[in-house]
Structure 1
Amino acid sequence: MSVTPDMAAVDHDAEQLRQLGYTSNFNRSMSLWENFALGFTYLSPVVGVYTLFGLCLAAGGPPMFWAYLLVGLGQMLVCLIFGEVVSQFPISGGVYPWARRLVGKRWAWMVGWIYSIALCVTIAAVAVGAGPYLAVMLGFEPSNSTNIVIALVLTLLATLVNLSGTKMLARIAMFGFLCELLGALIVGIYLLIFERHQPFSVLWNTFDIRVDGSYLPAFLTASLAGMFLYYGFEACGDVAEETPNPSKRIPVAMRMTIYIGGISAMFACLALILAVPDMQAVINGTDKDPVTTVLNNAFGSVGSRVVMAVVMVSFISCVISLQAAASRLLYSYARDEMVIGSRLLKRLSATTQVPVNALLVAGVLPALIIILGFFLQDAVATIVSFAAIGIYLAFQMIVLGALYARLRGWKPSGQFNLGRWGLLVNVGALVYGVGAIINMAWPRTPDAAWYVNYAMVVTTAVVIGLGLLYMWLAKPYDHGTAPAGDAWKIKR
């Protein structure tokens, strides 16, 4: 039997993985565009823009638009570092195995701990956030109870899709990407042509918003719109063992996620800003939901429901992609015997070739967080505040790990590397990330209870503290024998 190019490529990928210390039974069927679509739907520009638009527009006025550009440039630096790492270490699970090779087992365990919790919380937050949009689409009044029921159904649906296998995941991701991109373009173009109430110059108009006499604090608050958007490119690396030629394709898919996702988000935001009929009403709090106001004015009640249907597709595909990323992280964690129940979590289905038990955990844990909202709504809001900062913290642990490895002699040897620019980009990514984390955690509600004002700091301290305590008592990082801390020892 002759060896086809596809068979040779699969054999090469398997050999590369074997040299990294692993074997895999995943189905390598995810194309470049499907891999990108997974990252795009995780990033989900429609979900990110529509969810935070009103809050950030009220906080910083129309110049909040520029935050998407500035944050996108900062996250591109992080994306480039991730591209170097995944190109050399195309291992399922993303940040955890990267941290293991760049620094060592303890660092990797903490990265996996932080990121797995952040992903589960994010799944719950996105699922709950879909409730009001479905309510508008179906014409009923949203409430805490209905949002929770909708979130549970959405989480169950995502789990069933993910259990169907990599091919189904890839198809749903592509469908979600196409719906979201076309929806954003069609709605945005319509708003710009037929529903524009503001001049383009409004993008520089601060409407005299001041915090302690300066506009900068207001803009930093508004910049949270971008900071809560630009993560998703990492998901492309979570399925490295399900993508042919991952060393070359995944860094490309990651950058495409930033390019296309960022441009889509900026376009959607621009169209909404220019379509706001009364900007002062948004800033002074009279219009608390400018997205609904814009869509109702532009499309009427029936048309806005059609738009909300596209938004719901974005929410659904976002939850599916998040859960896929979380399950691969748990699988990778378990394969190295770094977590309780590793024997079960590292099993792949013989038929669908996906980590069934890890997927179930990635469905049950978010569902428990969602159900907690029935009884302790304020507590859940505090827990959910960890979602974004936890992801940023895990990302910066990789950026710091890459810098640590470079200083010890690591020279990235994958098909994608930055060459002599690597150190400069690495430092820039770290400076940006640390600044972003400080901005996200900065207390901005002095009149609120301390646990609300410092919710991100408190939840982060609790998560890290529990992780350190567990590490000290159980020493989970010592259970496995997979390679660790060897990035700088690998010769080019």
Structure 2
Amino acid sequence: MGEQTTLKRSLGLWSIILLGLGYMTPMVVFDTFGIVAGTTSGGVPLAYLVALVAMLLTALSYGKMVQVMPSAGTAYSYTSKTINGHLGFMVGWASLLDYLLLPMVNALIFRIYMNSFFPEISVWIWITAYVILLTGLNIWSVKLASRFNSSLVFLQIIMVVFFAIIAVVKLHNGHGNGVIFSIEPFIHSGIHFQTLMMGATVVCFSFLGFDAVTTFSEETPNPKKTIPKAIILTTLFGGALFIVASYFAQSLYPHLSTFKNTDDTLPEIAKYSAGVTFQVFFFAAAFAGVLSSGLASHGSVSRLLYVMGRDGVLPRKAFGYVHPRFRTPMFNVILVGLVTFASMSFSLDLISSFINYGALTAFSFVNLSVIAHYLFKEKRFKTPKEIINYAILPLGGFAFIVMLWTSLSHDSIYFGLIWSAIGFIYLLWQTRLFKVQPKQFDFELAEDTVELKAQ
């Protein structure tokens, strides 16, 4: 019997951080600025600050779990090993809703952008080119995909920096609030707790991506050290970009009456800030954001499918397959590409609402997995530090996620429950009505194997 091909460990810390930032799409802050500013009465940077603190709590939980389970399966693997295999499958199934649909969202946004510039060209041509590019890169090499993603992320960061410089000059010349450094974008009389939390709920979903870096755990040489650092740094860097960009946008445009279209303020922010030429470059960075997020999300979901296939909860021959030359889960990458084509049949609002169900399910159970593993299994509650790390912090993260659950749309909940029901039926069949546990991957054995191969 031949030795099973494994994923190639070729990603370093910064490659993984940039994949996470690519997933998060830094330029999205300008797209949603009008919506959040209207919700919070002009407190967008404060909403991002609140969301950053909340997401850091869950990011810490991801970091704790990857230290004991360096698997690409993320919430699925953590729940399966710490709480229950059946529940773990259901969490993984719900997470697929998030991971599978995000590539579709990016494809939809790409289609909208290209159709607005070239309405005479069929949108099928753009979607086909988009899917072929991202699928090809993810099959060929995770390192190549990472390098391409890095260039796209750097372009977005450069645009945020340029916008900040332009904003400083304009504020110095009396535009907007007329003050470069001010506390007003964070705190003023019009901001109220309830509306602030509503705004924080909206921008929390801009942080989706810090968790996705864990799906590359089996493609970095030292995941127990690299991935926890990558999770925290991705969250902090992403949060810093969002806060800086939203601070200067709020300072420069304190009143929504400036904009004709508050549902997507990116084009007008670029035009009003520095004219049509800057708007073109801004759009280029927005395109880069769509491509980087699509590339990272495409790679992430293929890894989650791979782990579920390797464990045998999905058909192993197809989903657990790794190409012997490219060392990537080729069949899964192709499947995600085919699913992305389905974006032609759905609206952006509908798909976006469904994503949140899967993301919140994963976040909830990662926090609970920390408690189950460290507090109950390892009995790590003997010192104040252990109580804070393994009880208070994950409970705080879980509490905030519960608050986000209450803000989900009815469509998101209904579709999520239907998706979960389908998964539950499959689980009944796969486990013979719960007579057997779903198979699980042995992380310790895998690590020993990797070390032996290295020797």
Q: Quick one: structure 1 residues 390 and 277, their matched pair in 2 at CA, closer, same or farther if it must change by over 3 Å? A: same
**What letter corresponds to residue 393 of structure 1 in structure 2?**
T
What is the percent sequence identity of the aligned residues? 19
Give the letter for the 1:471 counterpart: L
Partner of 1:28: 9
After superposition, what is the alpha-carbon deviation per residue over 1:365-422, rounded to whole angstroms, capped at 9, x for unaligned? 2322x1223xxx4xx743431112321221212212222333422368xxxxx74432
Does residue 388 of structure 2 align to residue 421 of structure 1?
A: yes
Q: Does 1:347 align with 2:303?
A: no
Asked if residue 107 in structure 1 is aligned to residue 87 in structure 2, the reply is: yes
Q: Which runs of 5+ in 1 are unaligned?
A: 1-21, 210-214, 413-417, 444-453, 487-492
Q: CA deviation at 1:37?
A: 1.1
Per-residue CA distance 1:84-104 (angstroms, 9 max, x = gap): 110111112222222221122
Instruction: Give the CA deviation at 1:224.
Output: 3.3
Match of 2:451 in 1: none
Shift in Å, 1:26? 1.8
In the alignment, the residues of structure 1 paired with residue 404 and residue 158 of structure 2 have an alpha-carbon distance, to the nearest angstrom, of 31
The answer as to 2:446 corresponding to 1:482 is no
1:79 aligns with 2:52: no
TM-score by length of 1: 0.79
**Alignment of 1:189 onto 2:165:** yes
Does the 8 Å contact 2:215/2:304 carry over to 1? yes
Does the 8 A contact of 1:93 with 1:329 survive in 2?
yes
Instruction: Confirm or deny: 8 A CA contact 1:68 1:225 kept in the other structure.
Output: no
Structure 2: stretches of 5+ with no match in the other structure: 445-455
Distance 1:432 1:67 in 2: 14
Q: Which residue of 2 aligns with 1:261?
A: 238
Are the equivalent residues in 2 in contact too, given 1:60–1:218 (CA < 8 A)? yes
Match of 1:231 among 190, 205, 208: 208
Q: Which amino acid letter does the alignment assign opposite residue 198 of structure 1?
A: N
Rounded Cα–Cα distance in structure 2 between residues aligned with 1:129 and 1:458 = 24
> Residue 337 of structure 1 aligns to a residue in which SS?
coil
Q: Which of these residues, 307, 323, 331, is aligned with residue 282 of structure 2?
A: 307
Aligned residue among 265, 273, 280 for 2:250 = 273
Match of residue 198 from structure 1:
177
Instruction: Please report the TM-score for the alignment, with normalisation by the length of structure 2.
Output: 0.86
Aligned to 1:176: 152
- Look up the SS of the partner of 1:129 in the other structure: helix
Which range moved further: 69-78 or 391-400? 391-400
Structure-2 separation of matches of 1:179 and 1:229: 18
Give 1:107 shift.
Answer: 1.4
Describe the superposition over 1:170-227 as per-residue Cα deviations: whole angstroms up to 9, x where unpaired.
Answer: 2123222322222211222222323642354542577858xxxxx4443333223421
2:22–2:153 Cα contact (<8 Å) kept: yes
Contact kept in structure 2, 1:337 and 1:479, CA below 8 Å: no
Query: How far 1:286 moved relative to its partner?
Result: 6.7
Write out aligned runs for 1:379-418 (5 A).
Answer: 381-410=349-378
Residue by residue, what CA displacement relative to the aligned partner does 1:231-274 show, whole Å, maximum 9, x if unpaired?
21222211111101111111001111011111011111122222
The verdict on how the C-alpha distance between 1:205 and 1:103 changes in structure 2, with shifts beyond 3 A counting, is closer
Matched, 1:464 2:423: no
- In 1, Cα distance between the equivalents of 2:281 and 2:319? 40
Structure 1 residue 308: Cα displacement: 0.9
Match of 2:308 in 1: 333
- Asked if residue 97 in structure 1 is aligned to residue 77 in structure 2, the reply is yes
CA change 1:371–1:411 in 2 (3 A) is farther
- Specify whether residues 419 and 175 from structure 1 end up closer, same or farther in structure 2 by C-alpha distance, changes over 3 A only: farther
Q: CA deviation at 1:317?
A: 0.8
Mean Cα displacement is larger for which, 215-224 or 33-42? 215-224
The verdict on how the C-alpha distance between 1:170 and 1:286 changes in structure 2, with shifts beyond 3 A counting, is closer
Given that residues 48 and 203 in structure 2 are in contact (C-alpha distance below 8 angstroms), is that contact kept between their aligned partners in structure 1? yes
